[in-house]
Amino acid sequence: MKNILVPTDFSAESHHAYEVALQLAQQTGGSVTLLHVLEAPESATPNFSTFGGPVNGAELPNSTGGMDQLFTIKLMEVTKRRMHQLKEEAATLVPGVSVQDTVEVSRIGTGILTAVEKYDIDLVVMGAQGHGAIEGFFVGSNTERIIRLAPCPVLSVKHPQSGFDVRNIVFPSDFTEEAAAAIEGLRQVVAAFPNATLHLLYVASNTDGTTAEQHIQVFAERVGLTNYKIDVVNAVRTSTGIEQFAQQVKADLVVIPTHARTGLSRLLQTSIAETVATSAFPPVLTYHLKS
């Protein structure tokens, strides 16, 4: 996870994500690509791709598209200044970490997915707001769309992190055969934070705690997990149980694998990951199982 993309709308949430991404890049020796997606008017020039004057190899045309095009050009100038400020901030906070900036003129979700492919991104770190957000880049639907469609892991950040020092990782699952396919991704996360305690969490309604714990123990031994604790929570809704437990243990990170296919483990359902990512307090990392 060394090539990190941070979409930004210059909001508090996106800045929280930016700070986390910079710390991750510093820890892993990675780099950060800072992205702003500009939803320009339909009649404005649609082919801005990066800063610096020329666009797609050609200079910007003279202002022949009326006020919409003029507005877009002015907005690009303001955006460039704000991105430059963020890069200067990174140079102060994490000297030595490479940060590049880019702009896509597109729908928000499409622009992010385009950048993931264009820059060969390993991890998207993005701010998230709950469903009650009225405006902003990261209303729930945008975050959920990236979680659902991005080919790489997505780390959703909602609150400021005073040093992204991961000590408690929550991994919710029902520990079925299908869930075993998620372990390779989990191992990569654990390897990145070797001092963290892994909480293997089972959430169900009216479950027999002892039986569930035994089942998790067998699962953990079979897949070779170490330095873990087993936790069983009763909750009517799986997402609610995950959120409440994460707060209870002061989790620094929640890790949820997903799969778009139906008929698999219910804790691999993308809808649960989306809900937790936009609701839970700590950062939430989601990743897709390989087909």
pLDDT tens digits, residue range 16-55? 999 999 999 999 999 999 999 987 555 444 444 444 443 3
pLDDT at 123: 97
Domain residue ranges in the chain: 3-157, 168-288
Angle (nearest 5°) at CA 274 between 185 and 7: 80
pLDDT at 291: 57
Over the chain, what is the mean pLDDT? Answer: 83
Q: Which runs of E-coded beta strand occur in the chain?
A: 3-7, 31-38, 98-105, 123-127, 154-157, 168-172, 197-204, 228-234, 253-258, 284-288
Angle between helical axes of 270-277 and 238-248 (0-180°, round to 10) = 40
Structure tokens given for 245: 């437990």
Can you tell me the distance from the alpha carbon of 38 to that of 131, in angstroms, rounded to the nearest whole number? 22
Domain 168-288 in the same topology as domain 3-157? yes
Least confident span in 92-101, 118-127, 199-208: 199-208
pLDDT at 260: 53
Relative to beta strand 168-172, strand 253-258 is parallel
pLDDT at 208: 76
179-184: long-range contacts, CB 8 A cutoff, minimum separation 24: 179/219, 179/257, 179/265, 179/267, 179/268, 180/219, 180/222, 180/223, 181/257, 181/289, 181/290, 182/257, 182/268, 182/289, 183/223, 183/225
pLDDT tens digits, residue range 204-215? 887 777 889 999
Q: pLDDT band at residue 262, thresholds of 50, 70 and 90?
A: very low
- Under DSSP, the state recorded for 119 is T
pTM, rounded to two decimals = 0.84
At the topology level of CATH, where does 3-157 sit?
Rossmann fold (3.40.50)
Q: pLDDT band at residue 247, thresholds of 50, 70 and 90?
A: very high
Can you tell me the distance from the alpha carbon of 238 to that of 272, in angstroms, rounded to the nearest whole number? 7
Q: pLDDT band at residue 252, thresholds of 50, 70 and 90?
A: very high
* Secondary-structure class of domain 168-288 per CATH: alpha beta
The label of the residue with tokens 């909001």 reads 11
Can you tell me the distance from the alpha carbon of 196 to that of 193, in angstroms, rounded to the nearest whole number? 6
pLDDT at 285: 96
Q: pLDDT band at residue 267, thresholds of 50, 70 and 90?
A: low
DSSP string, 52-75: SS-BTTBPPPPS-SHHHHHHHHHH
pLDDT at 66: 62
